[in-house]
A and B are shown apart, each in its own frame.
Chain A
Amino acid sequence: MDRSETRSGTLSKRLRETVLRNADHPAVLLDGVSLSYRDLWDQSGRAAKAMIARGVKPGERIGSWSPNAIEPLIVQCAALRLGLVTLHLDSEWDAEQARAALARAEVGCIFIRAFHEGRQYPAMIKSLRGQAGCPREVVIHGRQPRFERVLPDGWMEFLEAGDQLPDAVLDECEHQVSTSSDARAVIVFSGSGVALEECSILRAAVAFAGGTGRTCVDAPFYQPAGLVRGCLATLLNGGTLVLPGPATDPDTIVDRVQKSGCTALVLSSKAAAALREYLAARPEVRTELERCRITDNDGCDEAGTWAVVDPHESHLAYRLPAARPDAEAADAVLSPSGR
Chain B
Amino acid sequence: MLMSLPVACPFYLGEEVEKMQTTKKAVEVVHQGMPTTMAEFWEFASAARSSAKHLVDKNVQSLQYASLERLRSVLIQYRWFTSYYSGDLAILIYKLPPSSLRSLLAEFLHEELGMGDPSQTHPAMYDRFLMDLGVAASDLETTADPNNIALLEAFRHKLLVGDYTYGVGLRGMGAECLCQVYLEAVHHYLNKNEEIEKRRKSLDWTFWDIHASEADQMHGEKTREYIERLATPENISSLAAGYLEAEQMFMQFWDNAYRGATRDVEAVPDRKTRPPPVPFDGWCYHPAR
Q: Could you tell me the dominant secondary structure of chain A's interface residues?
A: loop
B43 beta carbon closer than 8 Å to chain A: no
A118 beta carbon closer than 8 Å to chain B: yes
B212 beta carbon closer than 8 Å to chain A: yes
Known contacts A118-B196, A246-B201; A150 and B208 CB within 8 A of each other: no
B200 beta carbon closer than 8 Å to chain A: yes
Q: For A117, give its contact among B187, B205, B210, B214 (CB under 8 Å).
A: B205
Cβ of A118 and Cβ of B205 under 8 Å apart? Answer: yes
Q: For B213, give its contact among A117, A122, A248 (CB under 8 Å).
A: A122
A223–B214 CA distance with the chains assembled, in angstroms: 28
Interfacial chain B residues near A291, Cβ < 8 Å: none
Minimum distance in angstroms from B216 CB to a CB of chain A: 10
Q: For B218, give its contact among A117, A119, A150 (CB under 8 Å).
A: A150
Known contacts A123-B213, A246-B201; A118 and B218 CB within 8 A of each other: no
A117 closest partner in B (C-beta):
B200
Cβ of A120 and Cβ of B187 under 8 Å apart? Answer: yes
Cβ of A115 and Cβ of B218 under 8 Å apart? Answer: no
Cβ of A151 and Cβ of B191 under 8 Å apart? Answer: no
A248–B200 CA distance with the chains assembled, in angstroms: 13
Tally B residues with Cβ within 8 Å of A.
17
Known contacts A122-B213, A123-B214, A151-B214; A115 and B205 CB within 8 A of each other: yes
A147–B213 CA distance with the chains assembled, in angstroms: 11
Interfacial chain A residues near B2, Cβ < 8 Å: none
Q: For B201, give its contact among A115, A117, A147 (CB under 8 Å).
A: A117
Cβ of A118 and Cβ of B215 under 8 Å apart? Answer: no
B34 beta carbon closer than 8 Å to chain A: no
Minimum distance in angstroms from B58 CB to a CB of chain A: 20
Cβ of A118 and Cβ of B208 under 8 Å apart? Answer: yes
A119–B187 CA distance with the chains assembled, in angstroms: 9
* Size range of the chain A interface in the assembly: 10 to 19
A143–B209 CA distance with the chains assembled, in angstroms: 10
Cβ of A118 and Cβ of B214 under 8 Å apart? Answer: no
Q: For A144, give its contact among B187, B190, B196, B215 (CB under 8 Å).
A: B215
Cβ of A118 and Cβ of B213 under 8 Å apart? Answer: no
Cβ of B215 and Cβ of A151 under 8 Å apart? Answer: yes
A246–B200 CA distance with the chains assembled, in angstroms: 11
Minimum distance in angstroms from A282 CB to a CB of chain B: 18
B203 beta carbon closer than 8 Å to chain A: yes
Q: For A151, give its contact among B187, B205, B208, B218 (CB under 8 Å).
A: B218
Cβ of A120 and Cβ of B215 under 8 Å apart? Answer: no
Task: Name A residues whose Cβ lies closer than 8 Å to a Cβ of B.
Answer: 114-115, 117-120, 122-123, 140, 143-144, 147, 150-151, 246-248
Task: Name B residues whose Cβ lies closer than 8 Å to a Cβ of A.
Answer: 184, 187, 190-191, 196, 200-201, 203, 205, 208-210, 212-215, 218
Cβ-closest 7 pairs across A and B: A118-B205, A115-B209, A147-B215, A117-B200, A122-B214, A120-B213, A151-B214
Q: A140-B214, A147-B218, A151-B215 are in contact. List 6 more A-B contacts (CB 8 A).
A: A114-B209, A115-B209, A119-B191, A120-B187, A122-B214, A123-B213
